[in-house]
């Protein structure tokens, strides 16, 4: 074991003792049963939607138990740092309503970014070293690679343990020599684990788990030649979750295999162990197989996608909660959002994130919203992603409300054509004169390849006789009259009986009017569209070719 004098010489002399931090971050005064949870993202770009999932679970459990939900930024890997990440976190927290109770500048257990907690970690690294539970390791990168290569060649497990851990019991003299030569070093944890030993623990989702114990002397403090001496995730996790007085660690399944190591670290530091819940990752159906939803490959894995598309947050939350606890998927949305999640009901296999299903949920949800509320949601989205649309909507609020009322307000079966705010322009844009492009090329295949002469005749005929009646059968009567006047068959059936006698049927006439008025072959009820856009606009569109 190295002398205390040597150990202390590696650290700043003013470094506080552990008692200082223990007093600085006292146990919380919370009612019994209150859970303190944390979401601990690394700033590597947009959050993964799985992160939103985990954060929502953290928040849900903390709030339903009368506890605290905090967010800690895990930025110890400076090479992966993305400068955009901070503002992207903010945007994601805002959008999904998962802003923390504690984090950033708020809360008594900060700083909440690991890069600002360097002193705290050093205190505990020194403490472990003083107790002989950690040691400096001067293995170079090349030596490390050679070790792994030899391990591979001899069939030994990779890692720094047993005979491979050459700095574990190095003589003090040797350490002093290296230090004097200015050799960089990392600090490794002296694992108490032995090969072949099994350990058990209870996961809040998975129940009793038995795993191989850790026997690796993992790195806890990164190399001394780095400008910022930061800990590894493993060590920071133990120190932070203890000092932030977290009571339940909910994190991704990828950390499950690290639990034996983490338990060793908690024990060595003299911290009580904290229960874990390891959440299975969201999956994606890829052909015949399932794989993890990946930010690199799947746009919908990134939170940026939901924000840019304007996917309604309640629908996403409802869907995710249903994936977590199947019972909630059977409930109406407001009830499902208010019902507490139960960790014990989480699946062990990763649930499938199916965008088609999400779209259906979104369509259902949006169909329940009053037009004014839809508008209030589309506007802020458009401010960010379609400013031209935003100014049109501000200038034409009443028209927007009339458009949104079509086949929605008072309808038994409200339209379900709007799933995300990015679809507002393609679905509702035609209502607005500033957005609608009058049809000048009816022969285009997107209009079904119509005959321009026929379109001109029908359009001007419709405009000449147009009566702005209330939508309904009386309104449609004018289409019927026009159709008869122009010699079209009164029904498709009639037309099919004697196709040579007519240029087409009334269905063709109304289709031409539809194309002229809406720029599409599919649209809501024409009478309602006309009432929404108003007579002058109806006439302008109908006469586009005249």
Contact criterion met (CB below 8 Å) for 379 and 393 = yes
Q: Output 281 or 322, the one with its CB closest to ligand GLU.
A: 281
The bridge status of strand 219-221 relative to strand 283-286 is: unpaired
Write down the least CB distance from residue 259 to ligand GLU, Å: 11
Q: Output 240 or 407, the one with its CB closest to ligand GLU.
A: 240
Q: What is the Cα–Cα distance from 194 to 276, expressed in whole angstroms?
A: 23
Q: What is the Cα–Cα distance from 44 to 38, expressed in whole angstroms?
A: 18
Alpha carbons within 13 A on the beta-carbon side of 45: 11
Write down the least CB distance from residue 251 to ligand GLU, Å: 3
Write down the least CB distance from residue 38 to ligand GLU, Å: 7
Q: Output 41 or 322, the one with its CB closest to ligand GLU.
A: 41
Buried b (16+ CB within 10 A) or exposed e, 231-241: bbbbbbbbbbb
Q: List the structure tokens of 188.
A: 């490794």
Write down the least CB distance from residue 198 to ligand GLU, Å: 24
Which CA distances in Å does 13 have to 7, 24, 119, 130, 505?
A: 11, 19, 12, 14, 94
Q: Output 48 or 402, the one with its CB closest to ligand GLU.
A: 48
Write down the least CB distance from residue 25 to ligand GLU, Å: 18
Q: List the one residue out of 240, 254, 222, 251 whose CA is nearest residue 79.
A: 222
* Interface positions, 117-136, toward ligand GLU (CB under 6 A): none
Write down the least CB distance from residue 189 to ligand GLU, Å: 17
Q: What is the Cα–Cα distance from 145 to 192, expressed in whole angstroms?
A: 24
Among 126, 190, 234, 251, indicate the residue that binds ligand GLU (CB under 6 A).
251
Q: What is the Cα–Cα distance from 516 to 437, expressed in whole angstroms?
A: 10
User: Is there binding between residue 278 and ligand GLU (CB under 6 A)?
Assistant: no
Among 74, 101, 203, 354, indicate the residue that binds ligand GLU (CB under 6 A).
74
Task: Give backbone dihedrals phi and psi of 36, rounded to 5 degrees, phi first.
Answer: -105, 115
Q: Output 44 or 523, the one with its CB closest to ligand GLU.
A: 44
Q: Output 44 or 131, the one with its CB closest to ligand GLU.
A: 44
Q: What is the Cα–Cα distance from 133 to 270, expressed in whole angstroms?
A: 12
Report CA dihedral (349, 355, 361, 366) to the nearest 10 degrees.
150
Q: Output 232 or 505, the one with its CB closest to ligand GLU.
A: 232
Site string for ligand GLU, 211-250 (x = CB under 6 A): --------------------------x-------------
Write down the least CB distance from residue 236 to ligand GLU, Å: 9
Q: What is the Cα–Cα distance from 36 to 244, expressed in whole angstroms?
A: 9
* Interface positions, 31-60, toward ligand GLU (CB under 6 A): 40-42
Q: List the structure tokens of 79.
A: 């090479």
Sign of CA dihedral 282, 285, 286, 289: positive
Q: Identify the residue whose tokens are 């498709």.
A: 492
Q: List the structure tokens of 123.
A: 């205190």
Q: What is the Cα–Cα distance from 383 to 392, expressed in whole angstroms?
A: 11
Q: Output 254 or 434, the one with its CB closest to ligand GLU.
A: 254
Write down the least CB distance from residue 208 to ligand GLU, Å: 21
Cis peptide before 464 (omega within 30 of 0): no
Task: Give backbone dihedrals phi and psi of 23, rounded to 5 degrees, phi first.
Answer: -75, -35
Q: Output 10 or 274, the one with its CB closest to ligand GLU.
A: 274
Write down the least CB distance from residue 255 to ligand GLU, Å: 6
Q: Output 23 or 296, the one with its CB closest to ligand GLU.
A: 296
* Helix ranges, 97-208 (H): 118-130, 141-154, 172-180
Write down the least CB distance from residue 434 to ligand GLU, Å: 45
Write down the least CB distance from residue 23 to ligand GLU, Å: 25
Site string for ligand GLU, 478-517 (x = CB under 6 A): ----------------------------------------
At residue 265's C-alpha, the angle toward residues 41 and 100, to 5°, is 25
Q: What is the Cα–Cα distance from 195 to 130, expressed in whole angstroms?
A: 25
Q: Identify the residue whose tokens are 């994606």.
A: 284
Write down the least CB distance from residue 83 to ligand GLU, Å: 17
Binding-site size, ligand GLU (CB under 6 A): 8
Contact criterion met (CB below 8 Å) for 357 and 300 = no
Write down the least CB distance from residue 237 to ligand GLU, Å: 5
Q: Output 41 or 524, the one with its CB closest to ligand GLU.
A: 41
Q: Output 50 or 504, the one with its CB closest to ligand GLU.
A: 50
Q: Output 277 or 400, the one with its CB closest to ligand GLU.
A: 277
Residues near ligand GLU (CB under 6 A): 40-42, 74, 237, 251-252, 255
């Amino acid at each position: 074991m190295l002398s205390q004098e040597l150990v202390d010489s590696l650290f700043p002399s003013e470094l506080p003792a552990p008692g200082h931090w223990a007093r600085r971050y006292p146990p919380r005064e919370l009612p019994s049963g209150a859970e303190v949870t944390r979401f601990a993202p690394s700033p590597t770009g947009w959050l993964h939607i799985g992160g939103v999932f985990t954060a929502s679970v953290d928040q849900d459990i903390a709030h339903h138990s009368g506890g605290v939900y905090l967010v800690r930024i895990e930025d110890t890997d400076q090479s992966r740092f993305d400068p955009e990440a901070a503002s992207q976190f903010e945007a994601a927290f805002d959008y999904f309503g998962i802003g923390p109770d504690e984090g950033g500048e708020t809360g008594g257990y900060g700083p909440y970014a690991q890069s600002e907690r360097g002193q705290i970690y050093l205190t505990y690294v020194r403490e472990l070293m003083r107790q002989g539970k950690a040691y400096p390791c001067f293995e170079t990168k090349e030596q490390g690679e050679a070790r792994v290569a030899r391990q591979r060649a001899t069939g030994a497990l990779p890692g720094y343990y047993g005979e491979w851990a050459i700095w574990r019991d190095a003589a003090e003299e040797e350490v002093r020599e290296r230090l004097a030569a200015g050799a960089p070093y990392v600090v490794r944890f002296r694992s108490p684990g032995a090969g072949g030993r099994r350990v058990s623990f209870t996961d809040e989702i998975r129940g009793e788990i038995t795993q191989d114990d850790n026997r690796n002397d993992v790195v806890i403090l990164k190399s001394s030649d780095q400008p910022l001496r930061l800990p590894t995730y493993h060590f920071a996790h133990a120190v932070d979750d203890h000092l932030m007085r977290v009571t339940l660690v909910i994190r991704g399944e990828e950390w499950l295999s690290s639990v034996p190591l983490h338990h060793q670290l908690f024990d060595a530091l003299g911290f009580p162990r904290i229960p874990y819940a390891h959440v299975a990752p969201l999956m994606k159906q890829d052909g015949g197989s399932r794989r993890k939803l990946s930010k690199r490959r799947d746009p919908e894995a990134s939170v940026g996608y939901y924000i840019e598309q304007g996917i309604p947050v309640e629908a996403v939350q409802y869907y995710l909660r249903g994936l977590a606890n199947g019972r909630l998927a059977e409930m109406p949305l407001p009830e499902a959002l208010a019902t507490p999640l139960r960790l014990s009901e989480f699946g062990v296999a990763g649930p499938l994130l199916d965008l088609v299903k999400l779209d259906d949920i979104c369509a259902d949800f949006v169909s329940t919203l009053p037009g004014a509320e839809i508008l209030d949601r589309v506007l802020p989205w458009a401010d960010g992603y379609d400013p031209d649309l935003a100014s049109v909507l501000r200038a034409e609020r009443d028209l927007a409300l009339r458009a949104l009322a079509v086949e929605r307000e008072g309808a038994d079966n409200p339209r379900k054509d709007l799933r995300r705010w990015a679809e507002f322009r393609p679905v509702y844009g035609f209502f607005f004169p500033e957005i609608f492009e009058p049809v000048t090329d009816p022969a285009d295949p997107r209009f079904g390849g119509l005959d321009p002469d026929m379109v001109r005749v029908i359009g001007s005929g419709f405009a000449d006789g147009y009566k702005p009646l209330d939508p309904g059968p009386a309104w449609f009567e004018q289409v019927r009259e026009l159709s008869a006047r122009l010699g079209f068959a009164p029904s498709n059936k009639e037309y099919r009986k004697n196709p040579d006698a007519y240029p087409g049927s009334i269905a063709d006439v109304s289709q031409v009017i539809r194309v002229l008025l809406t720029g599409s072959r599919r649209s809501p009820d024409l009478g309602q569209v006309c009432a929404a856009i108003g007579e002058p606009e109806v006439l302008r569109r109908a006469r586009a070719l005249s």
